[in-house]
Amino acid sequence: MAQVTLENVYKSFPQRKGEETVTPVTLETLPRKDNPIETANPTPSGSVNILRRINLTVNDGEFMVLVGPSGCGKSTLLRTIAGLSGLTGGKIWVGDTLVNDLPPKARDIAMVFQNYALYPHLTVYDNIAFGLRRTKLGNNTADVRMGNEKGKKIPGWMEDLLVGMTRNLPQEIRYISEKEKAVDEQVRRVAQLLQIELLLNRLPKQLSGGQKQRVALGRAIARNPQVFLMDEPLSNLDAKLRAETRSQIVKLQRQLGTTTIYVTHDQTEAMTMGNRIAVMNRGEIQQIAPPLELYNHPANKFVAEFIGSPPMNFLMVLVKAPRTLHHPQFRLTLPEFWTTFLEKYDGLLLFLGIRPEHLILGVPAPKNLRVQVESVEALGNDTYISVALADSSTLQVRIPPDLDVKIGDQIWLSIADDKIHLFDPKTGIAIGANF
C-alpha cells in the first residue's frame, strides 16, 4: 500500500479549432494548506489546459473521492495517475517512487473503468486471472510434475506455454504449475469476496451490468495493487444494486486497506464513501476536505452549490456595517463574530448562501421572507418545497413531512442566521470560512 502524491500536475491536449487556449477559470485558487504551490504554467502554446495546478496527497490506505461536473477532468486525472496518459507538467509519486516515466504496468496500480472493459472472449475466471498471470504471483520456474522428475526445474515461459495449451483439457490431464495454483487460489478468494463464484465459467455477455461490475472490481482486487483507481464504477447500476455495491466497495477497501481514488457524480456516493472528497471544476481542485467539513464549510460558491442536494440557495444582499444584510424583502442582523469579516464589504453586495434545511417556517417579521409555494415534493421522510420571492427568484426549502403546505400558499420563512454562508461576488470565495 502506498501514499499517492500529485505535485503541480498539468495536462494539456492539442488545441482544436474554436477552443480557448487555456481553460477559463472563474475562481481564484486560494493559497491553502492542501494546494500551496504555484509555479509557472508549463502548457505549450496552442494547447488546451485540461488539468491545472493539481496538488493532492492521498494518504496510505485512504479512500479519496473525486467529484466535479462532467468534463472537468476527473477521468483525465485518473488516467495520468495510472500512466495511460502522459503529463504536461508536474510530478506523480506512488509511495517513494516518482512514476512520471514508468509505464502503467510498472506502477502497481489497478484501474476500474466506467465501462468495465472486460475481455469479451474470456470467461469471468480468466478475466480475473488475466492480470495475475502476467504479474508477480508464483515463480518463473517451478517444480515439474506430471511424470517429470520431482524437483527438476523447467523455464517459466515453457510452463506458461504448457498451462495455456492444456487449459481447456479435462482437469486430470491439465498442466497446473505452482504459479497457476496460486492464481487459482487468488481468483477463488476474490470471487468468494464478491459473491461471483457461480459466475466463473460465464462470458461477460452472459452477465448483468451489476455482475460485470463486480467482475471488473474482482479483476482489480485480485492483483492486490498498491492503489485502486475507480472511474464511476457504479454508474450503470440500478438504485438498489448501486447502494449494495457501494457499501460492498467501502467494506472491501477497509478490509484490504488499499489506497483508493474513486470518481463519482453521485452526491450520496461522494458523501458516504470517502474519508475525504476532492472537488474539481474546470481542471482545478477547488477544495479537499472530509465530507461534512465540505458540506458545512465550503471554501467557495462552486463547492457550496455542487455539494448538497437540493443545492444551496443564493440571494444577493447589501452589507451595512457593522453586520446587517439588506435584501428588498428582509433585513437580517448577523451574530457578532461576522463584524470583522464584513468590515471591508460595507456598502457592497454579497451572495448569501443558505441550505434548504436552514430555511424555517416563520412568522411575519422584518427579518423574515414572504414567499409563495410553487411546488411540493413529498418524499415520505422529507418534503421539499420550491417557493418564489417577490422578484420571482426561487428557493428550495426542506420542511417536516407532516406539515400541511399546498401550492399557492403564502408563507413566511426565517433564515437560521447561524447557518448562513457569505461569498465574495467577484471571486466566489467564502467570507470568514475557516479552512
Ligand X SMILES: Nc1ncnc2c1ncn2[C@@H]1O[C@H](COP(=O)(O)OP(=O)(O)OP(=O)(O)O)[C@@H](O)[C@H]1O
Q: Which residues bind ligand X (CB under 6 A)?
A: 13, 50, 68, 70-76
Other C-beta atoms closer than 10 Å to the C-beta of 47 total 18
Residue of minimal Cβ distance to Mg ion: 75
Q: Kindly tell me which of 55 and 75 has the beta carbon lying closer to Mg ion.
A: 75
Q: Name the amino acid, one letter, at 352.
A: L
Question: DSSP class of residue 358?
Answer: G
Based on the shown chain and the rule CB under 5 A, indicate whether residue 264 belongs to the binding site for Mg ion: no
Shortest Cβ 89–ligand X spacing (Å): 16
Contact string (CB under 5 A) for Mg ion, positions 41-80, x = contact: ----------------------------------x-----
Three-state secondary structure call for residue 191: helix
Shortest Cβ 72–ligand X spacing (Å): 4
Q: Is the peptide bond before 310 cis (omega within 30 degrees of 0)?
A: yes
Q: Kindly tell me which of 13 and 119 has the beta carbon lying closer to ligand X.
A: 13
Q: Kindly tell me which of 75 and 287 has the beta carbon lying closer to ligand X.
A: 75
Q: Kindly tell me which of 84 and 431 has the beta carbon lying closer to ligand X.
A: 84
Shortest Cβ 209–ligand X spacing (Å): 17
> Which of 108, 63, 21 lies closest to 275, judged by CA?
63
Shortest Cβ 71–Mg ion spacing (Å): 8
Binders of Mg ion in range 75-94 (CB under 5 A): 75
Q: For residue 148, is it left (φ>0), alpha (ψ between -120 and 50) or beta?
A: beta
> What does the alpha-carbon distance between residue 190 and residue 1 come to, in Å, rounded to a whole number?
18
Q: Kindly tell me which of 18 and 364 has the beta carbon lying closer to ligand X.
A: 18
Q: Which are the contacts of 102, defined by CB distance < 8 A and separation ≥ 6?
A: 83
Shortest Cβ 367–Mg ion spacing (Å): 44
Q: Is the peptide bond before 311 cis (omega within 30 degrees of 0)?
A: no
Q: Kindly tell me which of 74 and 421 has the beta carbon lying closer to ligand X.
A: 74
Shortest Cβ 74–Mg ion spacing (Å): 5
Other C-beta atoms closer than 10 Å to the C-beta of 408 total 8
Q: For residue 398, is it left (φ>0), alpha (ψ between -120 and 50) or beta?
A: beta
Please return the burial class of 278, using the count of CB atoms within 10 Å of its CB with bins 0-12, 13-18 and 19+: buried
Cell of 218: 474482482
Q: Kindly tell me which of 222 and 230 has the beta carbon lying closer to Mg ion.
A: 230
Q: Kindly tell me which of 21 and 135 has the beta carbon lying closer to ligand X.
A: 21
> What does the alpha-carbon distance between residue 166 and residue 173 come to, in Å, rounded to a whole number?
8
Shortest Cβ 68–ligand X spacing (Å): 6
Q: Check if the beta carbon of residue 316 is closer than 8 Å to that of residue 357.
A: no
Shortest Cβ 44–ligand X spacing (Å): 14
> What does the alpha-carbon distance between residue 179 and residue 155 come to, in Å, rounded to a whole number?
12
Cell of 48: 488546451
- DSSP state string for 380-430: SS-EEEEEE-TTS-EEEEEE-TTS---TT-EEEEEE-TTS-EEE-TTT-BB
Judged by the rule CB under 5 A, the positions of this chain that interact with Mg ion are 75
